[in-house]
Structure formats: C-alpha cells, structure tokens
Structure 1
Amino acid sequence: MKLKAAATLVLTVAGGMAVIVATGVWALSGGLYGCTRADEELAPTLASLSILDTHPSQTQPEDERYSGCDEDDGFAYAGQYYRLTTSRADVLAFYREAAAEDGWRLEGANPSPSPTPDSLAIDTSALCFEKLAAGTTVHLAVWFPSDLGGSSDDYGLEVTASHDGTAWC
C-alpha cells in the first residue's frame, strides 16, 4: 500500500512539474509575449494593401517596402517611405481624400505631432485612419520623420494590425 501511495505521489509531482515547464516554455516562446503566428502571417497581407502604393504624383517611393511583426508589442506592420517633394499640407490633404476613397475612416488628426523636448513620443502620426481588413482592424498612420528630429525630406505610411487588438497608429 505504501508503495502505491509513493508511486502516486511521484507521478503527481512529476505531472505537475511537466505542466509548469510546458507553461513556461509556451509563455517564453510568445504565448504571453511577442507576435502570434496569426500576426506574423498578417504582415505580408498588410504589405500588399493598395493604400501603401497611393501617393501624390509629385512624390516618389523611397527604399523598399518593409513589413514584419513587432515582438515587443505583438502586432504586424508594413510601411513605405516617400520622398517629400510637395508641402506637408498637400500630403495631408491628399491622404485625407485618398484614404476615405479606399474605405479608411479618419480616427485622429494632429498636423504637428512633435513631442515636447525631453518627453516620450506617444503618437507621432499626423493622420490616423482605420478600417476592417484581413479579419481585424487595421490602422494607417501618415507620419513625418522630421517630427522626431529625423529627415525633413520624406514622410511615411505605416499600417499596423493585430488579431488581439493591440495595434494602433
């Protein structure tokens, strides 16, 4: 009888330890942190959105389109930079119209979102739109690197989305 009780105790402890180890491996491999497989698979879909090809005729794409999954915040993204060869106001007016025509809804506008000195940049998008695509809410940001002290010669479009709702402009 004592042998049976000891065996049951050993098996129960071993089973409990296996569950704890498996849960730890799951959490460290993205279960609680990082991108899900669904969000990693969403990045190429975001990169193919037609809005990223839409730009004023006076501007030209720079570099290659980029996409991926933000492991820190757990959302998919894609974007494109453009050479700024027209006024900032013209770019913003263009995207207000073009995004609306493509089914995007304006969620926020801040034509000069520069953070104050020595503060954290929370939202640097001059325009923020959203729409449903690929089974989730997708956010579109029109932003200017110069608002963060970067180049004043370009602007960017970036789309972000996550199946768990953690994406934003």
Structure 2
Amino acid sequence: MRLKAVATVILVGAGGTAVIAATGVWALTGGLYGCTRADEELAPTLASLPILDAHPSQTQPQNERYSGCDEDDGFAYAGQYYRLTTPRADVLAFYREAATEDGWRLETANPSPSPAPGSLAADISTLCFEKPVAGTTAHLAVWFPGDLGDSPDNYGLDVTASHDGTAWC
C-alpha cells in the first residue's frame, strides 16, 4: 500500500513538472507576450507583397523597405516610405486604384487624420485596406507623417498582420 502511495506522488509530481515546463515554453515563445514564431515568419511574406512596390510615377522610394515583428503588440509588419512629390490627393487616388486591383478591400478612409492635441495617435492612416495573406487578414495603411507634425515630404505604406488577429491599420 505504501509503495502505491509513493508511486502516485512521483507520477503526480512528474506530471506537474511537465505542465509547468510546457507553460514556461509557451510563455517564452510568445504565448503571453511578444511575437509568435508564425508571426515572425510572416514578416518576410508581408515585405514581399507587390503593393509595397506600387507608387505614383512622380514619387520615389525613400530608404530601404523595413519589416519585422512588433514585440509589444505581437504582430508582423512591413513597410516602405516614399518621397511625396505629387499632390496628396493624387497619391490617395493612385492607391485606391492600385490596392483594389491587387485584391485589397477598402476598410476605412479618413482624409485628414490627426490625433487630438495631447492624445496618443491610435489610427493615423488616411486609407486602410485589408485582404487575406498567408492564412490571416493583412491590413494596408497609406499614411502621411506630416499628419503627426513630422516629415511633410514623405508618405508611408505599412502592412500589418497577425495570426491571433491583433493587427490593424
């Protein structure tokens, strides 16, 4: 009888240790915070989307394309800045057409987004599109840093996506 009790304690202890170890691995690989492996692997896919290469003929790419995974919010992203050398309205008309032709669906349009004085910028995208990419919903934002008082001569394209649905424009 005593042997059975000792065996039970050992089995329960081993099972509990396995559960604790598995929970630790889950938490360290993005279960509680940060990016999951799937979202880290999604970033290069987003960076290769053709829409990031699309731009009005009068505009020029600025710097290198960027991509990665936002550890704070746990989503993959990619983007490209362009030099704004044509009227803002022409840029917006271009992306309304180019994104639609590339399968993106317009989700929201805000002609002049800007945060309220003293507030955090929650959504500064002028145009926000969405479409399925790699088994999740990707969001394409067309935005102007000048709306935040920064770099009035540039505009940006950002694509975000997450397998747990935490991405947005």
Q: Shorter chain as normaliser: what TM range?
A: over 0.9
Matches within 5 A, 1:129-140: 129-140=129-140
Cα RMSD, aligned residues only: 1.5
For the residues of structure 2 that align with 1:69 and 1:104, how far apart are their CA atoms?
22
Q: By how many angstroms is 1:63 displaced?
A: 0.3
Q: By how many angstroms is 1:34 displaced?
A: 1.8
| 1:107 aligned partner | 107
For the residues of structure 1 that align with 2:50 and 2:30, how far apart are their CA atoms?
30
Q: By how many angstroms is 1:3 displaced?
A: 4.2
Across the two proteins, how many residue pairs are aligned to each other? Answer: 169
Matches within 5 A, 1:117-128: 117-128=117-128
For the residues of structure 2 that align with 1:165 and 1:85, how far apart are their CA atoms?
35
Matches within 5 A, 1:6-85: 6-85=6-85
For the residues of structure 2 that align with 1:4 and 1:136, how far apart are their CA atoms?
50
**Which amino acid in structure 1 is aligned with residue 147 of structure 2?**
D
Q: Tell me, which stretches of 5 or more residues in structure 1 are unaligned?
A: none
Please report the TM-score for the alignment, with normalisation by the length of structure 2. 0.92
Q: By how many angstroms is 1:97 displaced?
A: 1.4
Please report the TM-score for the alignment, with normalisation by the length of structure 1. 0.92
Contact persistence 2:52–2:157 (CA under 8 A): yes
For the residues of structure 1 that align with 2:29 and 2:92, how far apart are their CA atoms?
40
- Of all paired residues, the percent bearing the same amino acid is 83
Q: By how many angstroms is 1:13 displaced?
A: 2.5
Q: Tell me, which stretches of 5 or more residues in structure 2 are unaligned?
A: none
For the residues of structure 2 that align with 1:149 and 1:160, how far apart are their CA atoms?
23
For the residues of structure 1 that align with 2:102 and 2:9, how far apart are their CA atoms?
63
Q: 1:134 to 1:25 in 2, by over 3 A?
A: closer
For the residues of structure 1 that align with 2:106 and 2:145, how far apart are their CA atoms?
21
Give the secondary structure class of the aligned counterpart of 1:5: helix
